[in-house]
Each structure stands twice: as structure tokens, then as C-alpha cells.
Structure 1
Amino acid sequence: MEGGSGSTQMYVVPLRAYYYSKDEKLLVSNYMPAGSLFTLLHGRGEGRTPVDWDSRVKIFLGSARGIAHIHSESGGKCSHGNIKSCNVLLTQDLDGCISDVGLTPLMNFPATMSRTTGYCVPEVVETRKFTQKADVYSFGVLLHEMLTGKVPFQYPGHHDVVVDLPRWVRSVVCEEWTTEVFDVELLRHQHVEKQMVQMLQISLACVSKSPDMRPNMDDVAKMIEEVQQSDVTNRPSSESESNLQTP
């Protein structure tokens, strides 16, 4: 799944079949061997492997390209409406791919929002209308989730304290305690602090309270590409070569 904007469709999970009835609506898609981003980040157990910086950047980029592709469809009028870590599925090589495309318009509003509380977009609560700029906001929360390691909503079987991630991140950054934002698993990696801060700035732009101030997903994908390229360029050669050889 390497490549630029010409391969963005590859970052959307292909639909193979569907079932539609009054009581049940199902999508059948390709099997994604590495599961969901949510499980990768928040799964628990002795066998869990911490997600390193390179892997997270790769997932950032694939997810951004997938949403950008969705936004380009139907003359640029399509949106997803339910961007969250459960809907980012991963290939064996940890490319992030967007799933559940097209379901939101078929679901009633209260049910949809109840499942995406942590990614809730301020203007959508008032207008009940999902837009591309709302997708950008939810993607910004997704970036916060990957950068902080925090869960933006309560989920069964876990009792973590749920925080309003955009508000919490803004408050920490305003106090100039930026390093306190990042997941402790990321702080173990050397020479990536600058790239982490750059990615944090992208996420803050995405969750701007004003929809007009948020970038579009094409621009977000390009900014993430620049961070990825600068990361490899600025890293000491021995570490760069080591990470590039990591599956």
C-alpha cells in the first residue's frame, strides 16, 4: 500500500456484500488480519506489544488518505460521519484503512452519536448534520488518541477515566507542559520528539472549534507525509536503518 494520492482508495476497506433490513444493517468486507486500531492501542494482556512511533505515523497516514479518498467521491460531496479507532482496520503491515463507509446516513442520529461520544463534533450536536469538516474534527480526536494513549470514550469491561481529549490536550499545551500529553510508550523512543510535536500541532488544527479553520483531509495527509519524511531524514542513520528493517 505504498504510494501517494493515486492509491488513496487502497486505504478504504472494500465492501464485498451487504444486508439491509429494518432491524439490521450489515456490511461484509475483506478480513483485516491485524484487527482494529482500538484493539492495537488499548488491548490488554501479556501478549500486547507497545505500538512504536513509526507504526503510529504509518497508521496516521493511511487513515488520512482513506478519509481524503472518501471526501473526493461523488464530486467531493461525501463524508464518513463516524470516524473512530474501532473503524480504522489494519492490514498485516499496519496500514490504516477506513471501514463502515456509508453507514451513518442509514442510522438514526441519537444511536450514532451514542457510539461516538468521545469523537463528538460540537456543531453536529446542534445541526445533526455530518460534514467533511466534522470528519476532520473526529480525525483530530483520533490523532489525540494515538498521541496520548488515552481512550476518548467509556467502553464495556474497562474503567478508565474518560476525558474530553481536545479540551485536555489544549489545557496541557497552554500550560506549556507539552511532553505531558504524549503516551509514555512513545516517550521511550529517542529523536522523535520534534515529529511528535508536529503531529500534535496537526491534531490541534483538526479539532479547531470553528469548522472553517480546520484543514481539509487532502492537506492533512500531505502534512503527515511531511512529518514522516522529516522523521526519517532527521533521525540518526543507524536508528533509521534499524527501524526501516522492522516488520
Structure 2
Amino acid sequence: MSTNTSTKGDTGANAAAAAKKLVFFGNAPRVFDLEELLRASAEVLGKGTFGTAYKAVLEVGIVVAVKRLKDVALSDKDFKEKIESVGAMDHENLVPLRAYYYSREEKLLVYDYMPMGSLSALLHGNKGAGRTPLNWELRSEIALGSARGIEYLHLQNGPHFSHGNIKSSNILLTKSNSPKVSDFGLNHLVGPPSSPTRVAGYRAPEVTDPRRVSQKADVYSFGVLLLELLTGKAPTHAILNEEGVDLPRWVQSVVREEWTAEVFDLELLRDPNMEEEMVEMLQLGIDCTAQYPDQRPTISDVVRRIEDLRRSSLR
């Protein structure tokens, strides 16, 4: 991939690499090959915990998202085994992995491109006059869809499989604002991050190694995501950090003082009919972020509770 940024020279520049093949998943037609992917114009979407993501526009007009992994600590055989299992995961609330490329120098993952971007950008990005307010109906739909995607990961892959990196920038949105969970299955592929604070706002207190995250730690991270949807505050918010308190503790302190209405994002207070449902969702977020793992619900419990409270609001 050639980019118009300073990464131009190293995004895929290896001519020898082009002789090797992209490995595709499923029965989708192979409409491009590695050489075409390496020739694509690329724009950096962001640098994450596991590597750099690019939007790649191929000459045939196809747009894909490509992640260049860093710090992969696995042999060729182990990498392929693990990535094959990621490619087999299929759920409407997961970003599908379409193909991968592996060599000693370069590991590329190819995904569908999500033009609407991330939940993080939607919540915290445009605060100006042109901002489209995010109503409660949309926020609760995003919460439910994201929970269902995580539930699939937990149930499909056994009790020891976790996402390990749940945060609002890893919830991507389709054109109809349907949420899709991204970056799943990657925490088992890479070495320990050089900057572990990056997901600190979402990380369960018991997690010391980001490669070893339990399903209950995923539930904690999802609980932080719920509180983020309700409060409109980023978990890494400067004011919270200055006070030395994380988002779950801040929410609990406000609720304890019986100022519950002050917790909610101002955009949500325009519809007072939804307050009861929002308070129930707030309680679920608090339950998910319990200090001790055994006090947290399972993700299946979380899905059921969100479904129930959405159902009751429709009556």
C-alpha cells in the first residue's frame, strides 16, 4: 500500500512479498490479490494496541480496512492456526476478517471497511453546531448489538476465549448505525504492549497482562462502555484522571450522592420518558464494573437484561 503520509515507504513495500499470497476466508470471490493490495492508496485510520489500521482503496475501486500487526510473538504455524479461528467467526455484530497475509517481516489483516467510523468518534468527535445528537434509542441499540457480538465470541470459543480490548474505538458502525465489534482474537497474537496505559480506562482492576484477560474482565470493559454511552464522558477523560478516579468510580460517587440525573449526557435529558430505562442501564453498567470478577454478570446475562429493559420501554 502506498500512503500519502510519512509511512509511505514501509506500508508494504516489499516486492518479494508480492509473490506470496493473501489467504481469503469463506466462499467470497477473490477480487484482488496481494500485489493489488500493496499498490492500493492508503490512508492511516489510527494506531491501536495491536498495530496501525489503514483505509486502502484498490485500483478496481474496492475499499477495505487493513491492519498491520506489530510485535507478533508467534511462529508461522501458531499464527495461522489462531488467525484461521478468527476468520471462522461469523456474526452480524462482528467486523468480519476477510483475508490475511503472513511473512516474517509483515503481517496484514484485511477487513470490511466501515465508512461511519467508530462509536468513540460518534460520541466524542463532533461537538460543534453541526453535531447530530445521539438519542437514547440509538445508544441502547448500539449497546445491545455490541453485547451480542461479545456474547457470540464468549459462547462460540469456550470459557477461556476473551476479546481483551473492548473500548468505544473498537465498536465500528455500518451506514445504518448497526454496531460491529472489531479487534477480537488479536490479544493472543501479539507480545505485551509497550504502553499498557492505552486501554487503562477500560481495563478491569485484576488484569495485569493484557494478553490474559478473562471473560469477566471483558464484562468489566463492556460496563465501562455502557457508562460511556450514558454519561458521554470518555473513560480516559482528563478531568476524571486529574481527580484520580476512573469512570465507574465517578458514576458511583454521583449516584451515592443521589444526583443520578447529573450522571447522564445532556443530549439524553431531552427525552424524560426514557429516564427509567436509562437508570436501569446505568445500574447494569455499575454491576458490570464491580471490583471483583465473581460479582459481575456474564455477558449472556447482560444481553438478556438489555433486551428486557428495551422491551419494557416499548410497552
- Shorter-chain TM-score tier: 0.7 to 0.9
Q: CA offset at residue 113 of structure 1? A: 2.9
Q: Distance in 1 between matches of 2:99 and 2:210?
A: 32
1:9 equivalent in alignment to 2:91: yes
The one-letter code sitting in structure 2 at the alignment partner of 1:192 is: M
RMSD (Å), alpha carbons: 2.0
- Cα gap change, 1:22/1:102 in structure 2, threshold over 3 Å: closer, same or farther? farther
Where 1:186 maps in the other structure, the secondary structure is helix
Which residue pairs with 2:57 in the alignment? Answer: none
Where 1:116 maps in the other structure, the secondary structure is helix
Q: Structure 1: which 5+ runs fail to align?
A: 1-7, 155-159, 234-247
Higher relative contact order, structure no. (Cα contacts within 8 Å, ≥ 6 residues apart): 1
After the TM superposition, which residues 41-80 of structure 1 pair with which residues of structure 2 at under 5 Å, given as runs?
A: 41-44=123-126, 45-80=128-163
Which residue pairs with 1:161 in the alignment? Answer: 239
Q: Distance in 1 between matches of 2:105 and 2:207?
A: 25
Superposed CA offset, 1:158-189 (max 9, x none): xx534410110111111111111100110111
Q: CA offset at residue 24 of structure 1? A: 5.6
- Cα gap change, 1:198/1:22 in structure 2, threshold over 3 Å: closer, same or farther? farther
- Cα gap change, 1:31/1:177 in structure 2, threshold over 3 Å: closer, same or farther? same
1:150 equivalent in alignment to 2:233: yes
Q: CA offset at residue 48 of structure 1? A: 2.1
Q: CA offset at residue 25 of structure 1? A: 4.5
After the TM superposition, which residues 32-181 of structure 1 pair with which residues of structure 2 at under 5 Å, given as runs?
A: 32-44=114-126, 45-111=128-194, 113-125=196-208, 129-153=212-236, 160-163=238-241, 164-181=246-263
- Preserved CA contact (<8 Å) 1:113 1:120: no
Superposed CA offset, 1:119-155 (max 9, x none): 121000379621100000000000010100001115x
Q: Distance in 1 between matches of 2:268 and 2:194?
A: 34
- Preserved CA contact (<8 Å) 2:221 2:289: yes
Q: Distance in 1 between matches of 2:106 and 2:239?
A: 32
Q: Distance in 2 between matches of 1:23 and 1:140?
A: 37
Kindly indicate which of the two structures has a greater share of residues assigned to helix. 1
- Cα gap change, 1:141/1:21 in structure 2, threshold over 3 Å: closer, same or farther? farther
Which residue pairs with 1:200 in the alignment? Answer: 282
Choose 1 or 2 for highest CA Rg.
2
The one-letter code sitting in structure 2 at the alignment partner of 1:129 is: R
Q: Distance in 2 between matches of 1:113 and 1:225?
A: 34
Superposed CA offset, 1:23-54 (max 9, x none): 76443211223211001101124432110000
Q: Distance in 2 between matches of 1:231 and 1:28?
A: 39
Q: CA offset at residue 95 of structure 1? A: 1.5
- Cα gap change, 1:106/1:198 in structure 2, threshold over 3 Å: closer, same or farther? same
Tell me whether 41-50 or 167-176 shows the greater mean CA deviation: 41-50
Q: CA offset at residue 94 of structure 1? A: 1.4
- Preserved CA contact (<8 Å) 2:164 2:211: no
The one-letter code sitting in structure 2 at the alignment partner of 1:172 is: V
Where 1:71 maps in the other structure, the secondary structure is helix
1:215 equivalent in alignment to 2:297: yes
- Cα gap change, 1:106/1:126 in structure 2, threshold over 3 Å: closer, same or farther? closer
Q: Distance in 2 between matches of 1:113 and 1:42?
A: 22
Q: Structure 2: which 5+ runs fail to align?
A: 1-89
- Preserved CA contact (<8 Å) 1:104 1:112: no
Structure 1 outlier segments of 4+, above 4 Å: 20-25
Q: Distance in 2 between matches of 1:176 and 1:22?
A: 57
Q: CA offset at residue 63 of structure 1? A: 0.3
Kindly indicate which of the two structures has a greater share of residues assigned to strand. 2
Tell me whether 26-35 or 194-203 shows the greater mean CA deviation: 26-35
* TM-score for the superposition, normalised by structure 2: 0.66
Q: Distance in 2 between matches of 1:145 and 1:153?
A: 10
Superposed CA offset, 1:179-220 (max 9, x none): 111001101112001000000011011000110011111110
